[in-house]
Structure 1
């Protein structure tokens, strides 16, 4: 822990974490399970003098809690990036991030810039990235070594041994693999309809390759374990979990880009401990601290170098799946316009019904 404490003290000395020059505060943190483990809280409190009170929640509850209090009750919250700009426009529950109080050098640049863009409202930035994850391909490389992109699931070499969900990620992933940009068309309904029509045709054409459309995480894991399925669209953590038992199976970031979610840091509008909030952000983005959070939560963070200190086996799996160019190629989910869900649902229903 000496290294961690030393690096934290260096940040304090540099003026990034201002707890030494301000009165200690109580940080009321609204977050997900695993994102604020007790060992990290203890180090933070010892180093800064601030104290931390954690309330565990999820996206829907976070927005509901902050909406009910007009942005009060908490000093730092962690909704996903697609729950920020829209919620701010509708409910006015956040306040802008003061980037001068954040050590941006600690963040993976592509993730920081993507989150800035996706959480901007009225030219103000409301979020910075923390924990992230992706969906992409989980492949048995011994049986389906040529599957490197979503469209490869339609190849004759894996006929009858493919699985994916009839959900939005499948539509989005296939679109990117076909050279289309569905996210760029989110605010142009006619353009999005055109993309969906092309993806629908491809999914119907690909249907003979599909063993089954999986519904739950345990289901797809069992299909891959048994060998009934050799290539699937699924989550990164699921692929790494399977790799523990079978070295041939692992997560592959598709050539068109894995589809990524990011849980962020935002400041509730009526939070009263901004000093402690910024101190926490800078503290947990240190690579050594970030590794402790990954070991707790199971997902990686946007901390530059944060993968180095995690459990050795998980680090190897992550680095094999995500070389730096694959990280920079992740397609991050933006806010989804409400009317798109109906369009997507109709497409998925037709794919399911097709012979």
Structure 2
């Protein structure tokens, strides 16, 4: 009798253990370092009972991991929005987003629209915006009070006090400074080539105005601290860092639009826990949670209203540099057609070689 009772008890315990293992949920997250802060992971796990297992990576490794498994092994990934459509067309490693499961009302409309457009494959969008950043102008307003667009980089009034990188963002910025839209010409190689020829001529003619072509961000910031450079093209965070040291220096969103990147949420093709993936997306874009992320990373999110909940210094930076009109005017990088990269490379080489 005792053996029978004991055996029944053991069977009951095994059943309980088995049920526990089946009901336990895990979200396998493939993301960038800093994008899954412990404080938010713990809050999510407490709210949902879902365990978050984060693997930190970058765009190249993300693509490689998902290619190797044909979209398996992870429930959610966070590629940059311009690294999705071309990869999806070739390798089919993501699945279309079911926007009915996304609380789109808490997402900044212009960012949602940009990501939907730039991740279209076979008529379906494959991502949701998460966080963003920009490059534009860092200006010493004491010496360059009128500098408010990329055209200031070619203004003789600032001769010898200008700095920018010889990289593709400068080509794009120059095109916008000339009153054109390079992204609108991505589908026309001849039109894009003609535009880049104009950009090349502008940059070559402007070489005497340039203090240096910066390659190291810290060196650029130091040259602005020492008043060697008055106007530079660089990232928003660098301008805000200098502003905290010297109120005369600040990041300025150019009139023709800051150039913006967006990192997204995308669901791998063979994700197992899709329900948990959508829960994490909605959780991270909830304004109070997005504000925590921004306070930690000093990086804006697509969560509408989150900035108002951030720390005062962080909020001041965004509100000063990015009123809503400037956010809506950001020129988000679309995927780059393969043929255009070689065109841009040749233009940059010619500018470097010119006397």
2:139 is the counterpart of 1:139: yes
Q: Which moved more, 1:332-341 or 1:261-270?
A: 332-341
Q: Which moved more, 1:238-247 or 1:320-329?
A: 238-247
Contact 2:152 2:231 in 1 (8 A): no
Contact 1:242 1:249 in 2 (8 A): yes
Q: How far does residue 56 in structure 1 lie from its aligned partner after superposition? A: 0.6
2:289 is matched with 289
State the distance in 1 between where 2:172 and 2:263 align.
20
State the distance in 2 between where 1:298 and 1:317 align.
10
CA RMSD of aligned residues (A): 1.2
> Which 4+ runs in 1 deviate beyond 6 A?
none
2:30 is matched with 30
Matches within 5 A, 1:131-280: 131-280=131-280
Contact 2:27 2:50 in 1 (8 A): yes
| Corresponding residue SS for 1:125 | coil
CA deviation string 1:183-238 (max 9, x = no partner): 11112110000110111111112111100000121121111111110110000111
| Corresponding residue SS for 1:190 | helix
| Corresponding residue SS for 1:143 | coil
1:310 is matched with 310
Q: How far does residue 285 in structure 1 lie from its aligned partner after superposition? A: 0.6
| Corresponding residue SS for 1:176 | helix
TM-score w.r.t. structure 1 length? 0.92
Contact 2:131 2:301 in 1 (8 A): yes
CA deviation string 1:65-97 (max 9, x = no partner): 000111011000000001111111111100111
Q: Which moved more, 1:172-181 or 1:258-267?
A: 172-181
2:323 is matched with 323
2:18 is matched with none
State the distance in 2 between where 1:325 and 1:88 align.
32
Contact 2:79 2:266 in 1 (8 A): yes
State the distance in 2 between where 1:96 and 1:342 align.
30
State the distance in 1 between where 2:89 and 2:267 align.
15
Q: How far does residue 305 in structure 1 lie from its aligned partner after superposition? A: 0.8
State the distance in 2 between where 1:302 and 1:209 align.
37
State the distance in 2 between where 1:179 and 1:110 align.
22
State the distance in 2 between where 1:204 and 1:136 align.
20
Q: How far does residue 25 in structure 1 lie from its aligned partner after superposition? A: 2.2
| Corresponding residue SS for 1:52 | strand
State the distance in 2 between where 1:56 and 1:249 align.
34
Contact 1:139 1:249 in 2 (8 A): yes
Contact 1:240 1:314 in 2 (8 A): no
Structure 2: gaps (5+ residues): 1-21
TM-score w.r.t. structure 2 length? 0.92
State the distance in 2 between where 1:29 and 1:279 align.
12
Q: How far does residue 57 in structure 1 lie from its aligned partner after superposition? A: 0.6
CA deviation string 1:272-318 (max 9, x = no partner): 01111000111111111001111222211000011112221121011
Aligned residues: 334
CA deviation string 1:155-182 (max 9, x = no partner): 1221110000000000001101211111
Structure 1: gaps (5+ residues): 1-21
Matches within 5 A, 1:21-170: 25-170=25-170
Contact 2:154 2:209 in 1 (8 A): yes
Contact 1:35 1:296 in 2 (8 A): no
2:4 is matched with none
Q: How far does residue 143 in structure 1 lie from its aligned partner after superposition? A: 1.1
Q: Which moved more, 1:216-225 or 1:188-197?
A: 216-225
